[in-house]
Amino acid sequence: MIVFPNCKINLGLHISGKREDGFHNLETVFYPVPFKDALELIPSTNTEIEFTGTGLAVDGDAADNLCVKAYHLLKKDFPEIPAVKIHLHKAIPLGAGLGGGSADAAFMLKLLNEKFHLNLSTDQLINYALQLGSDCPFFIINNPCFATGRGEVLEQTALNLSAYKIVLINPGIHINTGWAFSNITPAPPVKSIKEIILQPINTWKAELKNDFETAVFTAHPAIKEIKETLYAQGAIYAAMSGSGSTVFGIFEPNTGSVSLKDSNYFIKIIN
């Protein structure tokens, strides 16, 4: 079986407080974007799980890959799951604020559930997904959601951006998530993101903010420049996704192509 895990963007990201468990409370809107990896799973006659990958290089040992961890997480509770071969073709940039690794993990859970008839409910899959990462539960639902808590408290929203063009730009700068959180001063929101995203998109520029941008833009002016370039070239709304470093712009569908000074940046256009 083959599935195609997609990425997400954050429409607004506000950090409201530090939790006793060491995580942070936040609010954001997760919006799925049809830019995808490919994930294949087949049963194996071997006794051990096999993992292979193509596409973008994934650092670290295969045992630490979230797809492999998802397999072992379910295998612990469902020992009847056989050994499998997993192949991941990676197209979504890593550590880019797009949730690519989280998507792979969540899709792996769903794939195992379907392939081996585990009959897990959506809520059960979400509980497993949260053990793999704060963004993972969203990809179980994979529809636009207003998220609170660590990101696992999800409320679906009717937001639909399919009439617009979305441009993703990643400069290849790695932002350490722990560093990003350490530069945030949590505070209650002045106005909830849930309320802001119901407004016309042309009002988002003034009110829909990503709290990570201040510190990240100071440390990496090139990322700030991407956002400014997107607005200069006609974006209705532009922002950094997650803790970075990808910046996205939302454009009217008939807008011309986007050009940047640095041709080495990764650019993906979603029409």
Active-site residue set: 8, 135
Q: Which of 102, 64, 55, 56 is nearest to 241 (CA)?
A: 102
| Local structure of 271: helix, strand or coil | coil
Residue with tokens 């056989």: 82
**Distance between CA 133 and CA 152 in Å, rounded?**
9
**Is residue 139 classed as helix, strand or coil in its secondary structure?**
helix
Query: CA neighbours within 13 Å on the CB side: how many for 109?
Result: 32
E-state strands within 211-246: 237-240
Distance CA 255, CA 14 (A): 30
Strand order in the sheet with 266-270: 237-240, 247-251, 165-170, 266-270
Residue 172 sits at the vertex; the CA angle it makes with 168 and 176, to the nearest 5 degrees, is 105
Q: Which amino acid is at 44?
A: S
Q: From the centroid of its chain, how far is CA 113?
A: 22
